[in-house]
Amino acid sequence: MTLLTFVLTRVLPGSPIDEIAGPMATSQQRQALMRHYGLDRPLWTQYVAYLGGLARGDLGTSFVTSRPVAADLASFFPATMELTTWAMLLAVVVGVPLGVWSAVHRGTWIDHATRVLAVAGLALPVFWVSLVLIYLCFYVWHLVPPPIGRLPALVTPPPPVTGWMVVDSALARNWAVLGDAARQLILPVAVLALAAVAPLARVARTSMLDVLGAEHIRATRSLGIPWRRVVWTYALRNAMLPVLTMLAIVYGYLLGGSVLVETLFAWPGMGRYAFNAISGNDYPAAQGFILYATVVYLVIFIVVDVCSAILDPRIRT
C-alpha cells in the first residue's frame, strides 16, 4: 500500500519544486532545493527513508505548509470527523425509519414517495444543492450564518480537547460558542446527510422486506405480539445487518473528505487538504492522506464487524 502510493505520487507529472521555488527560480536554485528535500536521491533510497520515518510516526514534512504532515492531519481530521459524524447520525435517524416505513407500506403511495425522495437525494449534485441552500437559507432568509468555516469570524475557539467544536465548547461550558458552532454545522451537515440518506433508506427497505417475509416474523405475529412491535423490535434487529455494512461504506467515503462541500463551506477538513496536496504535488501530504484514509476504512470496518457480532449471535460462533 505505502509502496504503491509512494510510486504513484512520484510518477505523476509535475514536480513540487515548481510550487516551492516559483517561476523565477534559476536552475541552480532548483538543484539546491532538490538536494535539500532529498528528491535528487534514487527513488528506492527515498522510499526506505520514508518507511523509516513511518516507523517512528513521522509522515514527513509538507512542502506547502512546511509543517509535519502528521500535525496537519491531526488538525484537519477533527473538522471532517465532526462534520461527517453529525451528517451520518442525521442520515441514519432519517434514512433507516424511512426505509422501514417504505417496506411496511410496500407498493402504496408512501413507498413510492420515499423512493422518489431517495433517488432525488442521490441524483441531485452536491455542489448544486449546497449553492441553492446557501443562497436560500443564508442570503435570502438569513436562517443560518455565512458559510465561512467552523466558527463565525471573531469568535475565539474553545481550548481543543477532542477537536470537535461542539464537544469542546460544551466541555468549556461556553454555550455561546456551542450555539455558534452548531449553527455553522447545520447546512453542510444537511447537504452531506441528504446524499447519505438515499443508500441507507434503500438498503433498509430491501432488507426489511426480506425479513418481513421470514417465517419467524409470522411465528412472532402468531403469538399476538402487536404489528408495530414486530416491525420495530423483532424485524428491525435482523434487518440492521446489511444497513450496518452500507453505513460503513458511506461513512468511510465521507470521512475521506468531501472536497466540494468542504470547499463551498470553507470547512478546514481532510477533503480540501488532500485536494491541495495532490494538485500541488505535495508528496508527503498526499501519501499521508492516503495512509490516513486506509486506516480510517480499516477502523470503521473493524467497528462494524464488532457491531454485527453484537447484533447477530450466529457471527460470534
User: What is the contact surface with other proteins in residues (CB under 8 A)?
Assistant: 106, 213-227, 234, 237-238, 311-314, 317
Distance of CA 2 to the CA centre of its chain: 22
Q: Give the residue with the Cβ less far from other proteins, 38 or 213.
A: 213
Taking alpha carbons only, the member of 282, 316, 314 closest to residue 37 is 282
CB of 236 to other proteins, least distance (A): 10
CB of 199 to other proteins, least distance (A): 23
Q: Give the residue with the Cβ less far from other proteins, 136 or 311.
A: 311
The label of the residue with cell 467544536 reads 165
Q: Give the residue with the Cβ less far from other proteins, 57 or 226.
A: 226
CB of 297 to other proteins, least distance (A): 26
Three-state secondary-structure class, residue 97: helix
Phi, psi of 37 (to 5 degrees): -90, 0
CB of 204 to other proteins, least distance (A): 16
Query: Around Cβ 237, how many Cβ atoms within 10 Å?
Result: 12
Residue 147 DSSP code? S
Taking alpha carbons only, the member of 199, 239, 197 closest to residue 104 is 239
CB of 210 to other proteins, least distance (A): 13
CB of 296 to other proteins, least distance (A): 28
The type of residue at 166 is V
Q: Give the residue with the Cβ less far from other proteins, 13 or 226.
A: 226
Which three cell numbers, joined as nine digits, stand for 49?
527513508
Which spans in 105-174 are helix H?
Answer: 109-123, 126-133, 165-171
Q: Give the residue with the Cβ less far from other proteins, 13 or 215.
A: 215
Is 306 buried (19+), middle (13-18) or exposed (0-12) by CB count in 10 A? exposed
Three-state secondary-structure class, residue 81: helix
CB of 172 to other proteins, least distance (A): 42
Q: Is residue 79 within 8 Å of residue 269, measured between CB atoms?
A: yes
Q: Give the residue with the Cβ less far from other proteins, 80 or 238.
A: 238
Q: Give the residue with the Cβ less far from other proteins, 2 or 220.
A: 220
Which three cell numbers, joined as nine digits, stand for 190?
444537511
